[in-house]
Structure 1
Amino acid sequence: MKKAVSGLAMTSAVVNMLALTGSFFMLQVYDRVIPGHSLPTLVGLGIIAGTLYAFQGVLELIRSLLLLRVGLSVDERFGKSVYESLVLLPSRVQTPGDGLQSVRDLDTVRGFLSGPGPVALFDIPWMPFYLGLCFLFHVWVGVTALAGALMLVALTIMAEQKSRRPAKEAAQLASERFALAEATRRNSEAVLAMGFGHQLGRMWSDVNCRFLDNHLRSTSFTISLSTLSKVLRMMLQSAVLAVGATLVIRQEATGGVMIASSILLSRALA
């Protein structure tokens, strides 16, 4: 596991360095190729950029496969214990629902480790590096990028705080919902014989309505914040372009800096 994490960290470092290829390619094209009208330089830059892009793609694939292996190793390590709990727990404590929650939890952990979540965790430390490059291009480009990053971070923190309670309520309601459904299924003959179908139907409607209401509120909030975040990122890219254009007009920066800083910002805030 430690070797896999170390490999992921090293691979992520190289991937984030290679992510600068597009920015520096545009910088060289606007500052060297176009002013010098040099096609050989453009061809050479294109070959270098294409090679770096291919290398980045290979490393991205390796990183994804490593994460898949990490997820499988966690399953292999804890799968036997989870199965043993299915055998032992029913004789010791009363488990709600179908008693397979531990299996679902292990599947959730494996799915997270094999997905894009850990990739974001390895990429986050590189955001200050990209912001620092924006400051190297020009101080006002860096200030604009930093202000945008702070706004997005504040928006993320607010989303986490506001969605924590609805998520907890949703998990509780989902558990009640499945427990009622499972109890009804197990005791279907007794329910029909004793005429409790209508009463259980009303209980199901009540639990299901509360679950759907919670789902609607939490999902609407999440969609709203996601849309706001997307719009804010687009506005920030345009703002950086506007700042860069202003600097070009005032002859404080080149056209390559204007385009490259916009690409760099999109990578930093991705």
Structure 2
Amino acid sequence: MRQTALDRGLRACRPAILCAAGFSLVVNLLYLTGSLYMMQVYDRVLGSQSIETLALLTLMALAALGVMAMIDYARARLATGVGLWLEQHLGRPVLERVIGDTIAGREYRSEAMGDLASLRGFISGPALIMLFDAPWVPIYLALVYLLHPVLGHVALGGSLLLLALAVANDRLTQALFGRAATAALAARRVVEQGIRNAEVIDALGMTGALGQRWLSAARTAAENQDSAAIRGSLLVGLSKFIRQGLQIAILGAGAWLVIRHEVTSGAMIAASITMGRALAPVEQAMSMWKSVAQALQARRRLEASFARPEVRPGTMPLPAPRGSLSVENVCYALPGSSRPLLKGVTFRVEPGEAVAVIGPSAAGKSVLARLLVGVKAPSSGVVRLDGADVSTWGREDLARGIGYLPQDVELLAGTVRDNIARWGDASPAEIVEAARMAGVHEMILGLGKGYETQIGEGGTHLSGGQRQRLALARALLRRPRFVVMDEPNANLDAEGEESLNAAIAGLKESGASVVVIAHRPAVLARVDKVLVLRAGVMEAFGPRGEVLRRMNGVQPGARPSVQPTQPIQARART
């Protein structure tokens, strides 16, 4: 059976968890110190009136309790360390799964990081310690039985009663907590959508409607949470009543047995203390059962996620790409759909060449761009870079030699420097070089703190053109050998388009291959070839002048009638 990163991580934690279980054994043995001390004081010291014996017993008891406290602390620290290690060890694999699931369009995405946090919280928190202490409940009950069967019956009956309440608490609140969690997640997603689309929502007056959606989900979450809390509070209150009643019952039964001379007064006190220790894990189960259940559910979901095929299986590292692109009979359809968005697309781009992809809206141009950089995998056919399928390249290996400017520019919260450096270890010289290639160095220097300027979530502190030019600089980091740009001039002014054309020319001179999804004709000045897409089918591919003449119905050797200011989409429809 294939072992996943989750399996390996949990297996690596096993020795430390077993060590924590061993600490629990010692701690629970030392918990008997109080019972033994009380028995000796009541049955021996008070009868002998020996101060020396009392002092010796007290010192021994304090020493035992001190050792217990230190071991208990070590156990807690060990559990905390294991939880943190597991989260750090699995953080990257889980994040890779999240990104892969998002690319594949799967439902279980960002919740995976929350599940990892739940697993870490379970291991680091008191719930795991409670499970370690639970096996000692029958041992403590057996010790109470050794003192006297009547006392044992009282302790056992109380334990079963509290356990029944814990089970009832779980049965009565589990479904409510589940519905509350689902509704709370829906409410959080509404807020996230509002933050991502704040300008559109404000401009179109959608705030009220968005607020109603959030309010509906939040109300559902609150109602289910309140119902579960009311039921849980009732059962917790009942358990406290039973717990205190049991303490009175065992002392009363013990006093009755002392009067009948069946046990000593020391045994009566020891039974009370030991029963209290036996009931502690049962009581804790009522408040921590939810954490245990959440951790089990989180593990099951993570196991299911890791059991699915990887979007990008690990491969042997390859050299940085040189830029030779080959697209071979590529077709693509959305998962679950039989209608292809691309059908039989075939072309080549050699190092030092630039190709423009043009066509009407919904022709499949942006889909093709995603396939070229390996973000999506073709339904059939293959996209090769230097002879290797791009979908099988290790992403970090591939990223060393490619640049990608998507249609929808996404910048991360942080500084200008962080975004150009792709949050990596790029040197200042490499960052400035990329900015100069994109023609944004002077623009960046004009910002408040230059390259250290905070741009906000998604680059909200920048204009659309500034965001696009900054994303272009990010794509050009370390002079990539293969660059894909999806409508790179959509938000650019004349100065920005001039910088873009200069960047394309510089890439060609350095031997890089460039694919540009073109919407405006100005970018065509620097390309060598043009590919025309319509309804997912490649209608034409060849040298720029030849393809444009064919699109305009001009015979070879004649001058094209299309002016450079005409929209490309309009020409593609003719």
- Relative to the length of structure 2, the TM-score reads 0.45
Please name the residue that 1:232 is paired with: 242
**Alpha-carbon distance in structure 2 between the residues aligned to 1:100 and 1:182:** 12
Residue of structure 1 aligned with 2:161, choices 151, 154, 157: 151
Q: How many residues are aligned here? A: 268
Higher strand share: 2
SS in 2 for 1:58: helix
**Alpha-carbon distance in structure 2 between the residues aligned to 1:79 and 1:203:** 32
Aligned pairs for 1:105-254 (under 5 A) are: 105-254=115-264
**Alpha-carbon distance in structure 1 between the residues aligned to 2:22 and 2:204:** 65
**Alpha-carbon distance in structure 2 between the residues aligned to 1:24 and 1:167:** 43
Query: Which residue identity lines up with residue 264 of structure 1 in the other structure?
Result: T
Cα root mean square deviation, aligned: 1.5
Please name the residue that 2:75 is paired with: 63
Structure whose alpha-carbon radius of gyration is higher: 2
Please name the residue that 1:100 is paired with: 110
**Alpha-carbon distance, 1:66 to partner:** 1.2
**Alpha-carbon distance, 1:208 to partner:** 1.9
Asked if residue 73 in structure 1 is aligned to residue 85 in structure 2, the reply is yes
The runs of at least 4 aligned residues of structure 1 exceeding 6 Å deviation read: none
Alpha-carbon distance change, 187 to 76 in structure 1, aligned in 2, over 3 angstroms: closer
| Stretches of structure 1 lacking an aligned partner (at least 5 in a row) | none
Query: Which residue identity lines up with residue 40 of structure 2 in the other structure?
Result: Q
Higher helix share: 1
Please name the residue that 1:88 is paired with: 100
Residue of structure 2 aligned with 1:3, choices 4, 7, 15: 15
**Alpha-carbon distance, 1:57 to partner:** 0.6
| Stretches of structure 2 lacking an aligned partner (at least 5 in a row) | 1-12, 281-574
**Alpha-carbon distance in structure 2 between the residues aligned to 1:236 and 1:155:** 14
**Alpha-carbon distance in structure 2 between the residues aligned to 1:204 and 1:17:** 52
**Alpha-carbon distance in structure 1 between the residues aligned to 2:106 and 2:25:** 48
**Alpha-carbon distance, 1:94 to partner:** 5.8
Query: Cα deviations across residues 163-200 of structure 1 (Å, max 9, x unaligned)?
Result: 11011101110111111111122222222222222222
Alpha-carbon distance change, 77 to 45 in structure 1, aligned in 2, over 3 angstroms: same
**Alpha-carbon distance in structure 1 between the residues aligned to 2:211 and 2:270:** 61
Query: Cα deviations across residues 50-107 of structure 1 (Å, max 9, x unaligned)?
Result: 11001101110111111012112311331110221243333221668xx532222212
Alpha-carbon distance change, 80 to 201 in structure 1, aligned in 2, over 3 angstroms: closer
**Alpha-carbon distance in structure 1 between the residues aligned to 2:32 and 2:92:** 44
**Alpha-carbon distance in structure 1 between the residues aligned to 2:239 and 2:124:** 25
Bigger relative contact order, structure 1 or 2 (CA pairs below 8 A, ≥6 apart)? 1
**Alpha-carbon distance in structure 2 between the residues aligned to 1:85 and 1:227:** 43
SS in 1 for 2:105: coil
Query: Cα deviations across residues 123-152 of structure 1 (Å, max 9, x unaligned)?
Result: 111100100010110110000001001101
**Alpha-carbon distance in structure 1 between the residues aligned to 2:214 and 2:24:** 48
- Relative to the length of structure 1, the TM-score reads 0.94
Query: Which residue identity lines up with residue 26 of structure 2 in the other structure?
Result: V
